[in-house]
Structure 1
Amino acid sequence: MGKMHLATWYMQFDDDEERAIHNFVEVLKEYFHNVCELDLVFNFYNVYTVVDKVFPAGKIPETSQQMVKQLQMLHSLG
């Protein structure tokens, strides 16, 4: 039995937004070490922490990999 593709979602992003979303996904991959949907569902409070750090006050800041290191340090403490 094969896999069934149930939905496809396409969105149009501005270049800055696309870069911010890509950075958000990269941060999640680093934070959860190969993230999957279950990581997001069962660790939603950690995802909210990542969102708060990646998009402070809902703004798109300059992206930095230093943020990943800070989040990993926070994750190791909790």
Structure 2
Amino acid sequence: MSTQIAIRLPNDMVAFLDKAVAQGKAPSRAALVSSALEREMRRQAAEQDAAILRERGSAHDLDDLVNWSTSRLDLPD
């Protein structure tokens, strides 16, 4: 489900949106704005996770799992 909203943006931001759409970097203004908001939501969630880790310390009980997982990756030297 989606909700249509109206927002006011500075002219330079609208020009940026229009240029990105014209260059094929985004299918629409709304898609680019949605993408930016999703990225901001992920950034804020990561910031909250980092704050929790700072407060509680790292989860040492997961160290073995991380080591096992990374040992399975094919990483270049």
Question: TM-score by structure 2 length?
Answer: 0.29
Question: TM-score by structure 1 length?
Answer: 0.29
Higher relative CO (Cα under 8 Å, sequence separation at least 6) belongs to 1
